[in-house]
Amino acid sequence: MGECRSIRRGHKAVVPFVAAWLSIVVGACGGEGAGPVGPEEPPSDEEVAPLPRFASVTAGGVHTCALSVDGEAYCWGPNNLGQLGTETDERCPMGEMDSDGIGTGAIVNAPCSTTPVAVSGGHVFARLVSHNWYTCGLTEAGEAFCWGQNHVGQLGDGTQEARSSPRPVAGGDRFRTLSLAGGVTCGLTLSDELLCWGSGPYPDWQSSVPVPVAPEHRFRLLATSGGHTCGVTLDSTTLCWGWNSSLQLGVDTVSTTCTSHDRVLPCTDVPQRVTDEIPFTTLAVNVGYTCGLADGGRAYCWGSNRWGQLGDGTLEDRAQPLPVMGERAFSSITTGRSFVCALDAEGATYCWGRDSGNFGLGRNWGGSVPEPVAAAPGHRFVSLSAGHSHVCGLDGEGIVYCWGGNTWGQVGNGNRLESVLRPVRVAGQQ
Query: Per-residue DSSP letters for 332-372?
Result: EEEE-SSEEEEEETTS-EEEEEEESSTT-SS----EEEEEE
Q: Are the C-beta atoms of 389 and 61 separated by less than 8 Å?
A: no
DSSP 8-class letter at 316: -
Q: What is the DSSP letter of 23?
A: H
Q: How many CA atoms lie within 13 A of 185 on its CB side?
A: 37
Are 422 and 429 within 8 A, CB to CB? no
Locate all alpha helices (DSSP H) within 8-109, ordered by sequence: 23-29
What contacts 24+ positions apart, CB below 8 Å, involve 299-305? 299/323, 299/324, 299/328, 299/330, 299/333, 299/342, 300/324, 301/340, 302/247, 302/248, 302/250, 302/274, 303/246, 303/247, 303/248, 303/249, 303/250, 304/246, 304/247, 304/248, 305/370
Look at residues 304, 286, 352, 398 and name the one whose alpha carbon lies nearest to residue 61.
Answer: 286
Q: Exposed, middle or buried by CB within 10 Å (0-12, 13-18, 19+), for 251?
A: middle
Q: How far apart are CA 10 and CA 82, in angstroms?
A: 12
Which amino acid, 177?
T
Exposure string of 370-395, with b = 16+ CB inside 10 Å and e = fewer, is bbbeebbeebebbbbbbbbbbbbbbb
Q: Which of 409, 412, 410 is nearest to 424 (CA)?
A: 412
The edge-to-edge listing of strands for the beta sheet with 73-78 is 14-17, 91-98, 103-118, 73-78, 64-68, 54-59
End-to-end CA distance of the chain: 34
Model pLDDT, residue 40: 47
Per-residue pLDDT of the chain (430 residues; tens, 9 = 90+): 333 332 223 333 333 333 333 332 333 333 333 333 334 455 555 567 789 999 999 999 999 999 999 999 999 999 999 999 999 999 988 877 554 444 678 888 899 999 999 999 999 999 999 998 999 999 999 999 999 999 999 999 999 999 999 999 999 999 999 999 889 999 999 999 999 999 976 667 899 999 999 999 999 999 998 789 999 999 999 999 999 999 999 999 999 998 877 889 999 999 999 999 999 999 999 999 999 999 999 999 999 999 999 999 999 999 999 999 998 999 999 999 999 999 999 999 999 999 999 999 999 888 999 999 999 999 999 999 999 999 999 999 999 999 999 999 999 999 987 899 999 999 999 8
Q: Give the other-Cβ count within 10 Å of 164's Cβ.
A: 19
Q: So what's the pLDDT on residue 201?
A: 67
Where b means 16+ CB within 10 Å and e means fewer, 84-113 reads: bbbebebbbbbbbbeeeeeeeebbbbbbbb
C-alpha count within 13 angstroms, C-beta hemisphere, residue 7: 20
Cα separation of 299 and 78, whole Å? 32
Task: Give the angle 229-233-239 at the CA atoms, nearest 5°.
Answer: 40
Q: Is residue 39 reached through a cis peptide bond, with omega within 30 degrees of 0 on the bond before it?
A: no
Residue 107 is predicted with a pLDDT of 85
CA distance 296 to 386: 23
What pLDDT does 135 receive?
98
Instruction: Indicate left, alpha or beta for 19 from its phi (over 0: left) and psi (-120 to 50: alpha).
Output: beta
The string of DSSP letters for 281-292 reads EEEEEETTEEEE
Which candidate, 410, 383, 411, 406, places its Cα nearest to that of 54? 383
